[in-house]
Structure 1
């Protein structure tokens, strides 16, 4: 379909691979129970590092339906993307074999690509770092796929038979938001009718842990991993690294209605901005994030007062949580004080590029169940973070419109507005 007029975009399928349980149902139960999936790193010996905790996914590629050849060919993050896309496709009820392949596309976000695979292969070809002149013959045959993140989109496109636009979006920690926003724009402009969109990252490797150690962005609270991630709490001292993926089936609204699809939400508005300020630093006034929120609301044709819940970036660093609080006040005005806000990073960690899509999944499920997930480990609110951050316990809350935001190294600031399409039609 490529008709004239405004093409609206809806989510009709959800897949999630996250710490604490694979699949959207297990993910949602973890969130609403307020449980944390953060623990001491088990993938390697973390004792040499400042931060030794992470939110790991208990993932068995073979049990998840991947063949031995797929497992051999794909990095862990690509495996996440394919398995999660298959869940989303099954959930959508679409028969992809009946779709026009050139009208079906893929957009996958990732901040660090095949970091896990590259780290492992370097250790192999360098004999644990002892060889300055490495021997490439010891590497896996598909090492090139690890070097080019575009392979993520390729693998998902092959899995679903999509021959339309295939793109990887890599904008740091906003990649998961930006991938969904871009995919919605592709449908809205008429280039595609169906998009598989989301993000995947598997960054829990020695090189990534060392990098974040160097800038002291991750928490050193190693004695209590389950309570190490503390967004908006006065005692917060850095984020907990995570991993995972979330993928969605996006469709043109009229086509989805015509086939009787279950419609989770409309991707009503999206905007991204850059602060052009600092690689890792944030201005305390939150101006750029506030501007992204304003434009996303404008595109959605909603007012600040229409937002029922805000899914925050909430990384648990001192500067981010203050910056974000200021951005909400700046963009939502007095309504910011009446709106529940929460950070699921308190439970599933910060999976870099993947987390934006994982947070969209949480936002959509919040709308489906009229339940707001909590901010775990929030016992002593920072006086500078004085909004309603839904501490500890999930809350029943009528939710028809959600704002989900992200902030990424490089100065990226993104906002997505999700809405009940019937509410927007009214």
Structure 2
């Protein structure tokens, strides 16, 4: 008679964050709970010619964050974010990597736009400011090929922690941060790794990215008042605000974390994805695919709508997304949706594309730890079609055992993850 295999439950034991408003998990959580916004006029380049000239920038000094001159020269800004966040997460976890078989350490990183900053900077140099069609490769930095291959960011994190197990890069647009966390959790569940550095990073604040979102009029043109430009679920919203940043978390198997006395922020209990196969940027108003992802995540966790205590929404601040998401909550959770507090941290730190899903998971885990729901900043006049409890303006103390975090991305991607307050919390 064969022995019954014990379920392997992934638990978050370390968190590292690089976000607008302050580098590090402590600064990140303080900004969220204070309801402060980190959106401002773009300072990383001259944005004077663009329709939307605002963003949520990270005040990031790579040397001050411990990166060497060689690392700074080698890595794109997004890769720098990821490595700094990974190092903070490892320190927070209390792991001694020297005592762990490197073949049991994995890395799962997400990104929507890869090394956009480095690629654009190099194009400007090689093309002489866009004046030459034929580029002169002799002016290129040796790292240019690495900028063109997004997986180099996952490799940098692997080098930083000595990982010799599974290493991967997930690029599924704005759900990449959720999807990379889901993949990392699966590596733990199936026993492919004992430790996984999972998260996402993006540094998309460059002229080409701003121009692309300008062209489809997706970003807010509220240049006169950048602090209040990101307004998820508000009747007067006029588009999302670009951001940048990274979050990386240490995932471990629950029993192993318990044996070493680790502090667990949250257990990853369920994760599911769907696609609408409909439109590159459009969303169906009924929210069916997101609702199905939510139901599947709950099913995997053995949970019901009544178990969800808080929803960390995608909440981008576009009319299409906010109404689609509201419909998805009602469709998947029924009347319970009206009783659950929901909020969007994009109101404070903008939308960092692929990175934001992992940053929101970090916020969800911290909400469980501190039993506080971050607010939706700038929500003064609720959209009547978004008629749920969107926690306007002020953080709220709230008893929580389970948090649902969702994401929606161009291409029709829809992802949902359920976190539970773990026994080691």
TM over 0.5: yes
Cα distance change, pair 403–423 in 1 and its aligned pair in 2 (3 A): farther
* 1:335 and 2:348 matched: no
Residues of 2 paired with 1:351 and 1:97: CA distance?
Answer: 33
1:422 partner SS: coil
Alignment correspondent of 1:145? 146
Alignment correspondent of 2:252? 251
Alignment correspondent of 2:98? 97
Report the Cα offset of residue 153 of structure 1. Answer: 0.8
Q: Which shows bigger deviation, 107-116 or 130-139? A: 130-139
Report the Cα offset of residue 423 of structure 1. Answer: 10
Q: Which shows bigger deviation, 130-139 or 207-216? A: 130-139
Residues of 1 paired with 2:158 and 2:358: CA distance?
Answer: 18
Q: Please say if residues 272 and 296 of structure 2, whose CA atoms lie closer than 8 Å, have aligned partners that are also in contact.
A: yes
Residues of 1 paired with 2:381 and 2:413: CA distance?
Answer: 29
Output one character per residue of 1:207-233: Cα deviation in whole Å (capped at 9) or x when no partner: 000000111110111110000000000
* 1:411 and 2:420 matched: no
Output one character per residue of 1:299-343: Cα deviation in whole Å (capped at 9) or x when no partner: 111111101000000000010000000000011111100000000
Alignment correspondent of 1:6? 7
Residues of 2 paired with 1:97 and 1:126: CA distance?
Answer: 46
- Gapped regions of structure 1 (runs ≥ 5): none
Q: Please say if residues 187 and 193 of structure 1, whose CA atoms lie closer than 8 Å, have aligned partners that are also in contact.
A: yes
Residues of 1 paired with 2:5 and 2:207: CA distance?
Answer: 51
* 1:125 and 2:126 matched: yes
Q: Please say if residues 273 and 289 of structure 1, whose CA atoms lie closer than 8 Å, have aligned partners that are also in contact.
A: yes
Alignment correspondent of 2:186? 185
Alignment correspondent of 1:302? 303
* 1:63 and 2:64 matched: yes
Alignment correspondent of 2:241? 240
Regions of 4+ moved over 6 Å? none
Two-structure CA RMSD over aligned residues (Å) = 1.1
Residues of 2 paired with 1:88 and 1:248: CA distance?
Answer: 6
Residues of 1 paired with 2:139 and 2:84: CA distance?
Answer: 28
TM-score normalised by the chain length of structure 1: 0.98
TM-score normalised by the chain length of structure 2: 0.98
Report the Cα offset of residue 421 of structure 1. Answer: 2.5
Alignment correspondent of 2:33? 32
Aligned length in residues: 422
Q: Please say if residues 97 and 161 of structure 1, whose CA atoms lie closer than 8 Å, have aligned partners that are also in contact.
A: no
Output one character per residue of 1:283-312: Cα deviation in whole Å (capped at 9) or x when no partner: 000000000000000111111110100000
Residues of 1 paired with 2:272 and 2:337: CA distance?
Answer: 19
